[in-house]
């Protein structure tokens, strides 16, 4: 069972995301990841296996992450796609500005993915989750309102899911 966290505030986000993900470790997971907005740019960090692996990875990026104050994080229990770094969340869209963490299953992801590929979306993972990233990004590009974009995209989704979503243009 996975876990999702999100934070916006005045404190350094990486520490908060890691603390909160640690509290969810008991649920069981196979990989983890975070996305932050650092100096106006979305940055994604992921690791297979234990949360300690991503904590170790983040030590190498302290300079670029320390000023960030908004972010989302995830520990994954794979349902679609093997438990690899590529399949770990957060996932993103073609432009890389929208990031998403997801708990649950998108039952109709295959049909949606086929349609999105026809429309030019480039998929990098085997997950059902990435479909949602492309779908919301597509709606956002039309309506320019993230909440409305999520609402419109969710009308097309079948399954049980919780989502955490962040966009670079909305820090």
Name every residue whose Cβ is closer than 8 Å to that of residue 102 and which is 6 or more positions away in sequence: 4, 74, 89, 91, 128, 129, 132, 161, 162, 163, 164
Of 43 and 89, nearer to ligand GLU (C-beta) is 89
| Measured distance CA(38)–CA(23) in Å, rounded | 24
Is 32 a residue that touches ligand GLU (CB under 6 A)?
no
Q: Could you tell me the smallest distance in angstroms from the CB atom of residue 105 to ligand GLU? A: 5
Q: Could you tell me the smallest distance in angstroms from the CB atom of residue 34 to ligand GLU? A: 14
Please work out the total of residues on this chain that contact ligand GLU, with binding judged by CB under 6 A.
14
Q: Could you tell me the smallest distance in angstroms from the CB atom of residue 143 to ligand GLU? A: 25
CB atoms within 10 A of CB 119: 9
Nearest 5°: phi and psi at 137? Answer: -60, -40
Q: Could you tell me the smallest distance in angstroms from the CB atom of residue 89 to ligand GLU? A: 6
| Measured distance CA(111)–CA(118) in Å, rounded | 11
Is residue 14 a contact partner of residue 70, using CB atoms and an 8 Å limit?
no
Taking CB under 6 A as the rule, which mask of x and - marks residues 65-104 in contact with ligand GLU?
-----------xxxxxx--------------------xxx
Binding site for ligand GLU (CB under 6 A): 2, 76-81, 102-105, 127-129
């Amino acid at each position: 069972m996975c876990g999702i966290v999100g934070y916006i505030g005045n404190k350094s986000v990486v520490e908060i995301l890691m603390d909160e993900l640690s509290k969810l470790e008991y649920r069981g997971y196979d990989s983890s990841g975070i996305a932050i907005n650092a100096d106006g740019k979305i940055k994604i960090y992921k690791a297979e296996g234990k949360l300690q692996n991503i904590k170790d990875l983040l030590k190498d990026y302290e300079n670029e992450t320390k000023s960030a104050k908004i972010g989302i994080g995830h520990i994954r229990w794979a349902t679609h796609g093997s438990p690899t770094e590529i399949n770990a969340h957060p996932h993103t869209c073609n432009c890389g500005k929208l990031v998403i963490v997801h708990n649950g299953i998108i039952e109709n992801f295959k049909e949606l993915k086929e349609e999105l590929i026809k429309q030019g979306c480039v998929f990098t993972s085997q997950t059902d989750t990435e479909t949602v990233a492309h779908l919301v990004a597509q709606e956002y590009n039309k309506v320019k309102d993230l909440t409305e974009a999520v609402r419109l995209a969710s009308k097309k989704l079948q399954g049980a899911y919780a989502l955490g979503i962040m966009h670079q243009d909305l820090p």
